[in-house]
């Protein structure tokens, strides 16, 4: 017989053992996670390089007695101050200056190819790659792509450590991320990279680009709260296995520092571009030749759609794959190669990164019926069609004017066409829109070219008038900028 005291002690011991198990498991998990972080730092850290670059620029030396006031010239535009000085005083001597910058990069093969951001090495006259062990090598640019903000540089060195590229298509929000780079390297004065840890905050993020840098497109990015600071650009974003899942590219911060909204280019997107860059080829992006717009609730109601998923084709460029395939304005694209299309950015991304020459299967809704159309992906033309002008004054020559729901429209004459730049003379030109009118509220502006009304083609002013007189309720207009729904006046 076991005594009561002994039974009590046995029960107490069992309780203590059971209570200790979760603590031991938690401690073990913490140690395991910590070991994972240190393993990644040891594995990937040596593949990360500091990129130091120099740019050489010139500025005119202003003659003694002259002081400069007022705004600087816009990028790429002539400087009015310099033009004035040149006109009256001739060419002035110029002073040369050097601008220095730092970024990060990651070695992707034994031959010394390093991937970084294009903005890190842009217009560089001298590039130096500094390895984590302190060795430095001159680097040359092999290829760069402004649109994706990716570049490949190369160094001549032996026995280089190489980072392993992962699979960014399998990422999920909440996964651990490790950002590696050399932020503020000019302050730290150390070639050894630093690591910051966080999670994937979101996927498929798009962020705006500066107004003076519209050539770039930051779409489908990985968002992480792992701290990324100036100098981290071009460094790798890794998973817990030490595989590169992204290339750090941007920080969303008014102050310029990390506030937990940091972005990286998915490595799967980068792989396609790096293949071209490493061969010194220009990156070719896909194009269909369509003008698209997102679907509003009013558009969904007008076209009888059950949801706002997909995008609306607002126009087709002549001679393009879209026209040859049979796509038409008014079609609603719901799927691209079997994948759902969420919005304009989603479709734009899918088309841009499609293989040139492949046949894309495009699912559209036309007249409330589903239809699948095959269109060949073409390379983007060297120069996009000029943007439609939004603001123009009424032509100097008086013309017959039609007024409807706040729109003042005229026929497209040769003079009008030269001013507004439409592709052909079928349609009518909007020369004025009354403030607070139904047309103004819908988004129509002077300079718009109306091509259709309620899906019927508008060829001239008389046809436009007949269609306007017959129109009741909400009216669908197609312009060179897209579709607009114009309601009736409440007055």
Q: Which residues are catalytic?
A: 119, 149, 233
Asked if 427 and 416 touch (Cβ cutoff 8 Å), the reply is: no
Asked if 149 and 249 touch (Cβ cutoff 8 Å), the reply is: yes
> DSSP strand E in 239-388: where?
243-251, 262-266, 286-287, 290-294, 311-316, 332-336, 339-340, 359-366, 369-376, 378-379
Nearest-angstrom CA–CA distance, 157 and 148: 27
Pick from 177, 181, 221, 168: nearest CA to 199: 177
Nearest-angstrom CA–CA distance, 302 and 485: 9
| Beta partners for residue 56, in sequence order | 98
Tokens encoding 403: 């007024």
Looking up tokens 């719901």 gives 334
Asked if 482 and 315 touch (Cβ cutoff 8 Å), the reply is: yes
Coil, helix or strand at residue 184 = coil
Alpha carbon 42 to chain centroid, angstroms: 33
Long-range contacts (CB closer than 8 Å, 24 or more residues apart) made by 133-137: 133/46, 133/191, 134/191, 137/112
Q: Which residues neighbour 459 within 8 Å (Cβ) at sequence distance 6 or greater?
A: 426, 427
Nearest-angstrom CA–CA distance, 283 and 148: 9
Nearest-angstrom CA–CA distance, 227 and 204: 19
Sign of CA dihedral 294, 296, 302, 306: positive
Asked if 355 and 410 touch (Cβ cutoff 8 Å), the reply is: no
Measured between alpha carbons, how far is residue 119 from residues 101, 105, 122, 144, 461 in Å?
Answer: 10, 12, 5, 9, 50
Asked if 404 and 431 touch (Cβ cutoff 8 Å), the reply is: no
Nearest-angstrom CA–CA distance, 189 and 380: 44
Asked if 351 and 284 touch (Cβ cutoff 8 Å), the reply is: no
Coil, helix or strand at residue 204 = strand
């Amino acid at each position: 017989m076991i005594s009561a005291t002994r039974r009590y002690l046995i029960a107490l011991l069992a309780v203590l053992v059971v209570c200790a198990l979760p603590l031991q498991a938690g401690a073990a998990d913490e140690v395991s996670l910590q070991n994972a972080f240190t393993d990644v730092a040891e594995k990937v850290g040596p593949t990360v390089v500091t990129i130091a670059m120099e740019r050489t620029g010139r500025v005119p030396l202003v003659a003694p007695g002259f002081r400069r006031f007022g705004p600087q010239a816009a990028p790429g535009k002539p400087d009015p101050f310099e033009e004035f000085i040149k006109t009256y005083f001739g060419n002035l001597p110029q002073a040369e200056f050097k601008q220095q910058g730092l970024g990060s990069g990651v070695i992707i093969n034994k031959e010394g190819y390093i991937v970084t951001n294009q903005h890190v090495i842009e217009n560089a006259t001298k590039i130096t790659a500094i390895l984590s062990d302190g060795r430095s090598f001159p680097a040359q640019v092999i290829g760069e792509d402004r649109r994706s903000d990716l570049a490949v540089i190369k160094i001549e060195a032996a026995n280089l450590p190489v980072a392993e590229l992962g699979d960014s298509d399998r990422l999920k929000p909440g996964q651990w991320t490790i950002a590696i780079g050399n932020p503020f390297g000019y302050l730290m004065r150390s070639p050894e990279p630093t690591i910051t840890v966080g999670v994937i905050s979101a996927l498929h993020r798009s962020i705006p680009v500066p107004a003076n840098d519209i050539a770039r497109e930051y779409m489908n990015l990985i968002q992480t709260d792992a701290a990324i600071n100036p100098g981290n650009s071009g460094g790798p974003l890794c998973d817990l296995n030490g595989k590169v899942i992204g290339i750090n590219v941007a920080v969303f911060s008014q102050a310029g520092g990390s506030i937990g909204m940091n972005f990286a280019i998915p490595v799967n997107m980068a792989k396609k571009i790096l293949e071209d860059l490493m061969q010194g080829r220009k990156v070719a992006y896909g194009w269909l030749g369509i003008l698209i717009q997102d679907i509003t609730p009013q558009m969904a109601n007008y076209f009888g759609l059950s949801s706002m998923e997909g995008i609306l084709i607002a126009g087709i460029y002549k001679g393009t794959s879209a026209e040859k395939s049979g796509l038409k304005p008014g079609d609603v694209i719901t799927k691209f190669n079997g994948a759902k299309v969420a919005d304009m950015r989603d479709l734009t991304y899918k088309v841009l990164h499609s293989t040139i020459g492949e046949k894309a299967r495009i699912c559209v809704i036309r007249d409330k019926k589903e239809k699948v159309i095959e269109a060949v992906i073409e390379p983007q033309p060297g120069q996009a069609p000029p943007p439609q002008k939004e603001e123009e004054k009424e032509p100097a020559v008086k013309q017959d004017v039609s007024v409807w729901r706040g729109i003042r429209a005229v026929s497209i004459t040769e003079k009008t066409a030269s001013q507004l730049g439409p592709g052909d003379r079928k349609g009518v030109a909007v020369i004025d829109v009354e403030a607070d009118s139904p047309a103004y509220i819908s988004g129509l502006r002077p300079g718009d070219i109306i091509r259709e009304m309620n899906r019927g083609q508008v060829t001239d002013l008389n046809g436009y008038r007949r269609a306007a007189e017959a129109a009741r309720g909400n009216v669908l207009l197609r312009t060179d900028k897209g579709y607009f729904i114009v309601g009736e006046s409440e007055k």
